[in-house]
Structure 1
Amino acid sequence: MTSPAPLTIDRSELELLADGRHGSPHSVLGPHPHDGGVTVRVLKPLAAQVVVRYVEPAGGTTEVELVHEHGGIWVGVLPVADVPDYRVLVTYDGHTLQLDDPYRFLPTLGELDLHLVNEGRHERLWDVLGAHVHHYEGLGGPPVTGTSFAVWAPHAQGVRVKAAFNHWDGREHPMRQLGTSGVWELFVPEVGSGTQYKFVVLGADGEWREKADPLAFHAEEPPKTSSVVFESGYAWGDAAWMEDRRAKQPIAAPMSVYELHLGSWRRGRSYRELADELVPYLADLGFTHVELMPVMQHPYGGSWGYHVTSYFAPDARYGTPDDFRYLVDQLHQAGIGVILDWVPGHFATDPWALVRFDGTPLYEDPNPQRGWHKEWGSHIFNFGRREVRNFLVANAIYWLEEFHADGLRVDGVASMLYLDYARGPGEWTPNVHGGRENLEAVGFLQEMNATAYKRVPGIVTIAEESTSWPGVTRPTAYDGLGFGFKWNMGWMHDTLGYLHYDPVHRSWHHHDMTFALTYAWSENYVLPLSHDEVVHGKGSLIRKMPGDRWRQLATLRAYFAYMWAHPGKQLLFMGGEFAQESEWAESRELDWWLLDNPDHRGVHDLVRDLNRAYAATPALWALDADPAGFSWIDADDAHHNVYSFIRRGGDGPDLVCVANFSAVPHGDFPLGFPSAGVWEEVVNTDADVYTGSGVGNFGAVTAIEGEASGQPAHAMVVLPPLATVWFRKREESPVLAEESPVLAEESPEATKTTGGALNPATSPVTTEAKEPGAESVSD
């Protein structure tokens, strides 16, 4: 049959297309039936020859050579009534390539998806934006595999994809704008997982910018900046964990968290190598959760991950996204939850990332009083824009659903809540009510928390919030922010401040240790000893303790046991579990050789035993959110530097904790108990096995009826120096007062201890007390 003339296109449209300014390249390029034929236009600016090879209706193939029309656009007419299955033969410098045509495919986003994007309500935004491998059947030819690219750039004049498949010349692959959504899309056949790519965006200001994909699942390892197409093939093995998680309430469950920086726990380890080493280490230590400092892709290692460039891509320094899934999976199978540090408050300034993405302040707030973080030198998200909120909310859900994370610790919440954060007079503008609260950020945090808890039951969100903002952990239905927990920064500063003093001066600061109990149930708290306390000249935890090395180690051990028994969950940064000597630096790994030193091994073993005793004692966590789970025995014994309290709750027995932060033991110390009977010395931080001085109570004490410190029973106990002791009621019949031995006079054996660790009553071993002088049993 005779071919009709090519479908006419106005030259101005051809010029827009060649210049990259055409919002609908598919209306020009690709197949267009008309007048009994099909006009095909192909954009190949550097080609010497372009031919279309197509399958005829009756079978067989035919070729039609295209002619150059304008600016790299080639055109020809196929003499068929309907669009056939065809391929494009492109010749460059004598070499011919056979390619499929991206402009013969329909959009990969549906109307509902675009509507949800417009509304800022697409909770699985990552399903439609970014790069996705698709496999198509039934297109009139063999199956087609390719990748759809989609990006939100509402003010862009044009968007292209550049990659190896077009010799990094984005002119060959202009994207189409889908309606008024601001989404640009293109399906490129014969492109699969592992392909590196970038978007080239012609901004509203007329400037071309190369950009990484904001929703890329994978990225090149820094300093390279390309995004990488990634199709997951991971098969999870943590179904039992995930099912059990759905039924849990974290506030009423044990939570002992190990905070970890992936790159410096041990240097040079991949996600899979970390799984082989980290999982058994944490399982032995007994931590219930690990909190990973940001694993989202960031270009500068010295930022520790807090200046993010690719929010949906795990850090490529350690492997692929499926490698990271493997690490999470192995932790879950070992019974360890995974909390991810998440940074929605600000983002990196790198020009190839989110900054002025479409030539306008798109992700960042356009108001410099709100859009620039003076303290951290980074951009602040525009929390008032629905699409930006959607990006962040979907990102939170992404890590919880796609990577099975059990929680998110949200960084820098205080900086988000206040318009005047780190700003002086005249550097901020009040909100519509005249206040300093960032109402848009509040709304975002509420939306994020409500959505996360709705979609992923059993997870937890944790706020790093250092002010007295009310209702951080109150449900959003009651106008709270909706977090599950809040870091108790006040507890951390007060207790570390108290311990900084020499014991002889601590009585003047006694209530620094008790103050947190005046507000302990105003929020659900995590007690953090985090990375922030061991960097930037602050020194390691052990170096914060006064005195000689023996006193430093003893104080740290006593502090840990006091912390583990205190209301709230606990978090310890890596290295603290064996009294890391040097300040943390991300450029080197922990001082693992210290574990060969008995003093440091003793701290490690104590943390292990604390975790095991904690998990086995519901009284320490079942009523964390209820004041009924705690009562003081004596909060006011400043003279002796002693604190004593009771933890209650769950199905098990009560636990009595008594901490002696003086440098001398106290013998025949009258301690109130909630009931008469035998109370086992579950933990004694001064025990021999921890390289303590060996002072204790032979594994147990017997409380007799008789009021002391407001309690109905009491016992005369020995309190080791710079030590904390836990007593747990033995399940047996109470001992009556007249049947009990009277401990009114000091026994010559009172300064001996079992030397055991967890429940030492099962294997009594007595040793003579060692320094700092067991012969002194009082102040």
Structure 2
Amino acid sequence: MTARPPSPSGPAGDSTEQQPGTTAAEPAARPGRGRAKASGTAPRRAAAPRTPAAPRTPAAPRQAGAPSAPGATEGGTGRPSASSPRAVRPAPLDPGDRQRLLDGTHHDPHALLGARPLPEGGVLFRALRPYAHAVTVVAGGGPEAGPGTGLHSEGDGLFAGVLPLDAVPEDYRLLVSYGDPGAPEVLEQHDPYRFLPALGEFDLHLIHEGRHERLWEALGAEPMTHGGVTGTRFTVWAPNARGVRVTGDFTCWNGTCYPMRSLGGSGVWELFVPGVGEGALYKFDIAGPDGAHSLRADPMARRTECPPATASIVTSSAYRWGDEEWMRRRAGRRVHQAPFSVYEVHPASWRPGLGYRQLAEQLPAYVKELGFTHVELMPVAEHPFGGSWGYQVTSYYAPTARLGTPDDFRYLVDALHREGIGVIVDWVPAHFPKDAWALARFDGTPLYEPADPRRAEHPDWGTLTFDYGRTEVRNFLVANAVYWCEEFHIDGLRVDAVASMLYLDYSREGGEWVPNRYGGRENLDAVAFLQEMNATVYRRCPGVVTIAEESTAWDGVTRPTHVTGPNGLGGLGFGLKWNMGWMHDSLGYMAHEPVHRKYHHHEMTFSMVYAYSENYVLPISHDEVVHGKGPLVNKMPGDWWQRRAGHRAYLGFMWAHPGKQLLFMGQEFAQGAEWSEAHGPEWWLMDDTYAAAGDHRGVRGLVRDLNHVYTAEPALWERDTDPSGFSWIEGDAAEDNVFAFLRLAADGSPLLCVSNFSPVVRRDYRLGVPSEPTGWQEVLNTDEARYGGSGVGNPDPLKPEASPWHGRRVSIQATLPPLATVWLRPA
């Protein structure tokens, strides 16, 4: 292939897009340029240089209806050579068809372009090549057409001619001339309009039924070999569009030359473009029902430009995984009966400036040293506004390009797996931003969002909600959940803002919402979607867990979907649910001065009233350390020593409480500032040059030991969802600020947890214990000097005495350190 034609809108390789209504000399600004919006649009800058793409079919841009290129003859061939005979001029196109073709509103451009035999004999060839001054047909290099036959110009970039052939050649090419007619630049191209659809009927059937569980293989940009020719198949769902064209850097961002065809009543538009391959930038030029055009990023794009640029990128994976052993073990693990301790990470700010591959060199080792079993990554799907932390997604199938390529992200997941660490990602199906280049009114109508604005608008975030009742939208989201698990080996999906999906009146006043068909406030479509998503993920992806961030008392969040609850609905089918009630109550208790905690004692015990109503995760997440809430250590009252002691005691209580646990980055070493996505954790606090570095290293050392002891003690996780795995010893000592309980493994072996949330040492504190062990030994004490504590504890095993206490036949007398939690197990 010869060099690409010069671009009238910028130098070759520039990704400036031309919008409808602009001239080649005056290219429009790309969508997204300008001020950041609340909906998620960031200011736009020039795209960063990218690695050269595979050869692509070039075509100089030309706006529909623009005058013919200067220097063209009446026949449009410039100065054809003697070896290029002229074809017979065909009958002109129907004026209506011609105008729709040039306007990008024709549903079947293949009926007008390409090659077809005529009833009266010969084969009609027609091509749309804006800015070309000559097009010549070479019929497979065979002798029937000689070295090439020139087509006649029909104006507006259309070229046509009838060749004296008996049938359409199996393989023909177009020689397209650009530039100076006296010394043209000639490009040899396959004609996209000679190919049958590259998407099968079965795929279309599954899309129509909403059951295409690998939707990303049917829609979007798929590099492939089709009819013996390499290129890319472009497909997009836009059922209400009058027409769709694909444009990109391979057309110099002119949308005229590649109109797509509508595949029946499926709503899918398709075009195979030869020569376009890995790395090509593209968008869809969509004409809405009113004829207005908009340039749209591909909803199914698997790779995108780095924000604030917004184009989609053709991609395919060449990654070879090395986590076979992890995947095999994961499939046989029951998460409810296994250790599950999560370190929540904002990937872009954990260590600012690191990409996926650099994170892979540092994050796994850090997490493994601290003993966490999983990392949870805040949303990694592409989002235009970094300040949204990924919670306003525009490209659901593309890992953010800020940190690297999709294969770079695979490398990070693989590296974590090879260190024995699971990967959970935040997934955001509750809402999406209103950016005009993304999903909002995608085909000129409400498509991904409900048509009724009372259901479409999300009042809290200035975004749009999904239309969960629409078959194709539900399929888009269900397949997306499967996509992250299958394509990136993700081990869990934490589903954001589930409560906002479940209730039609969420954050809405009376008159601002529409009841369901039974007159209730439940969003039945969202319920059905979540049930289908969970059932599909668990069926297809063994060992994966789904986790709901759900802040209400909705019944059955982690109940199986086939089991009907008191609300008359089946369970939602999640594996785990964030325990927001425990988080709110326990942090409220810890915020009080110790002298006042006796009046709030129930806030630490109430969680056990409902602890087994769902399968819970205890979350101290990013939400609790932003927006003026301050870091965990600053929620504790008192001086610096007391705040750190309260921080440590609270973590000891949390790790022993029934349920899995999650801790946000920076809280593992008690950083004193609120988290900022611009700066990340305050790693300098542990630097030897910082006077109080030992204080922070001590807290981190405690978190490391909490995790390692937790993992080694089945009593702390083996019966997490079984009420028989927990027993109160002392839950009413409000005057003492003391809590004591047993955790029990499947074989009955116990672990005793005692928390003293007062700043005084309580010596000879009597606790009733099981009679079987002959002694109790400290296994962890948050007041140890190496953690920054005062060093008070029980160095020798505690011998049970035949003194009944707390309803038990024997008891021990323990020393309870100040503002501390102690774990004891049989000696």
TM-score (norm 1): 0.91
Match of 1:567 among 635, 658, 662: 658
SS class of match (1:604):
helix
In the other structure, the counterpart of 2:773 is 676
Q: Where does 1:431-470 land on structure 2 (aligned, <5 Å)?
A: 431-470=516-555
In the other structure, the counterpart of 1:187 is 272
Q: Where does 1:356-367 land on structure 2 (aligned, <5 Å)?
A: 356-367=441-452
Task: Output the CA distance in 1 between the equivalents of 2:291 and 2:681.
Answer: 49
In the other structure, the counterpart of 2:82 is none
Q: Is the 8 A contact 1:618 1:651 kept in 2?
A: no
Task: Output the CA distance in 2 between the equivalents of 1:703 and 1:99.
Answer: 88
Task: Output the CA distance in 1 between the equivalents of 2:214 and 2:395.
Answer: 17
In the other structure, the counterpart of 2:817 is 720
In the other structure, the counterpart of 1:637 is 733
Q: Is the 8 A contact 1:237 1:333 kept in 2?
A: yes
Deviations 1:654-686 (A, max 9, x none): 111000001011111112222331222111000
Task: Output the CA distance in 1 between the equivalents of 2:336 and 2:797.
Answer: 31
Alignment CA distance shift 1:720-1:153 (3 Å): same
Alignment CA distance shift 1:58-1:73 (3 Å): closer
Q: Where does 1:326-725 land on structure 2 (aligned, <5 Å)?
A: 326-478=411-563, 479-596=570-687, 597-651=693-747, 653-674=749-770, 675-698=772-795, 700-725=797-822
Match of 1:92 among 153, 157, 178: 178
Deviations 1:229-284 (A, max 9, x none): 11110000111111111111111111000111011111010000011011100010
- How large is the Cα RMSD of the aligned pairs? 1.6
Q: CA shift at 1:595, angstroms?
A: 1.7
Identity across the alignment (%): 59
Q: Where does 1:58-77 land on structure 2 (aligned, <5 Å)?
A: 62-77=147-162
Q: CA shift at 1:424, angstroms?
A: 0.9
Alignment CA distance shift 1:42-1:421 (3 Å): same
Q: CA shift at 1:296, angstroms?
A: 0.5
In the other structure, the counterpart of 2:210 is 120
Match of 2:317 among 232, 237, 252: 232
Q: Is the 8 A contact 2:144 2:165 kept in 1?
A: no
Unaligned stretches of 5+ residues in structure 2: 1-84, 564-569, 688-692
Task: Output the CA distance in 2 between the equivalents of 1:7 and 1:244.
Answer: 68
Task: Output the CA distance in 1 between the equivalents of 2:191 and 2:823.
Answer: 72
In the other structure, the counterpart of 2:358 is 273
Task: Output the CA distance in 1 between the equivalents of 2:332 and 2:594.
Answer: 46
Q: Which amino acid aligns with 1:528?
A: P
In the other structure, the counterpart of 1:130 is 220
Task: Output the CA distance in 2 between the equivalents of 1:678 and 1:273.
Answer: 49
Task: Output the CA distance in 2 between the equivalents of 1:438 and 1:149.
Answer: 34
- Could you tell which deviates more after superposition, 30-39 or 676-685? 30-39
SS class of match (2:241):
coil
Q: CA shift at 1:60, angstroms?
A: 9.2
Q: Is the 8 A contact 2:86 2:149 kept in 1?
A: no
Deviations 1:429-449 (A, max 9, x none): 211111111111111111111
Q: Which amino acid aligns with 1:65?
A: G
Task: Output the CA distance in 2 between the equivalents of 1:622 and 1:676.
Answer: 20
SS class of match (1:77):
strand
Q: CA shift at 1:70, angstroms?
A: 4.5
In the other structure, the counterpart of 2:99 is 15
- Could you tell which deviates more after superposition, 443-452 or 708-717? 708-717
Alignment CA distance shift 1:434-1:55 (3 Å): closer
Q: CA shift at 1:20, angstroms?
A: 1.1
Q: CA shift at 1:386, angstroms?
A: 0.8
Q: CA shift at 1:467, angstroms?
A: 0.5
Q: Is the 8 A contact 2:737 2:757 kept in 1?
A: yes
Between 1 and 2, higher relative CO (CA 8 Å, sep ≥ 6) is seen in: 2
Q: CA shift at 1:701, angstroms?
A: 2.0
TM-score (norm 2): 0.86
Q: Is the 8 A contact 2:496 2:549 kept in 1?
A: yes
SS class of match (1:577):
helix
Q: Where does 1:729-768 land on structure 2 (aligned, <5 Å)?
A: 729-730=826-827
Match of 1:42 among 127, 132, 136: 127
Alignment CA distance shift 1:3-1:348 (3 Å): closer
Q: Is the 8 A contact 1:90 1:98 kept in 2?
A: yes
Alignment CA distance shift 1:66-1:506 (3 Å): same
SS class of match (1:476):
coil
Deviations 1:13-66 (A, max 9, x none): 222212211101111111213355322111012211111122255699530101
Q: Is the 8 A contact 1:676 1:713 kept in 2?
A: no
Alignment CA distance shift 1:699-1:47 (3 Å): farther
Q: CA shift at 1:175, angstroms?
A: 0.4
Task: Output the CA distance in 2 between the equivalents of 1:264 and 1:358.
Answer: 36
Task: Output the CA distance in 1 between the equivalents of 2:89 and 2:796.
Answer: 99
SS class of match (1:457):
coil
Q: CA shift at 1:711, angstroms?
A: 2.9
Q: Where does 1:293-308 land on structure 2 (aligned, <5 Å)?
A: 293-308=378-393
Task: Output the CA distance in 1 between the equivalents of 2:124 and 2:190.
Answer: 16
Q: CA shift at 1:651, angstroms?
A: 4.7
SS class of match (1:610):
helix
Alignment partner of 1:105 is 2:195: yes
- Could you tell which deviates more after superposition, 647-656 or 572-581? 647-656
Alignment CA distance shift 1:59-1:726 (3 Å): farther
Q: Which amino acid aligns with 2:238?
A: A
SS class of match (1:447):
helix
Task: Output the CA distance in 1 between the equivalents of 2:222 and 2:511.
Answer: 47
The alignment of Structure 1 onto Structure 2 pairs a total of residues equal to 725
Task: Output the CA distance in 2 between the equivalents of 1:662 and 1:205.
Answer: 70
Q: Is the 8 A contact 2:456 2:466 kept in 1?
A: yes
SS class of match (2:730):
strand
Deviations 1:380-404 (A, max 9, x none): 1111111111111111110011111
Q: Is the 8 A contact 2:319 2:407 kept in 1?
A: yes
Alignment partner of 1:29 is 2:119: no
Q: Is the 8 A contact 1:676 1:705 kept in 2?
A: no
Q: Is the 8 A contact 1:296 1:313 kept in 2?
A: yes
SS class of match (2:236):
strand
SS class of match (2:148):
strand
Q: Where does 1:139-158 land on structure 2 (aligned, <5 Å)?
A: 139=227, 143-158=228-243
Deviations 1:305-349 (A, max 9, x none): 111110000000000000000000110111111111011010011
Q: CA shift at 1:135, angstroms?
A: 2.4
Q: Is the 8 A contact 1:3 1:37 kept in 2?
A: no
Task: Output the CA distance in 2 between the equivalents of 1:580 and 1:2.
Answer: 78
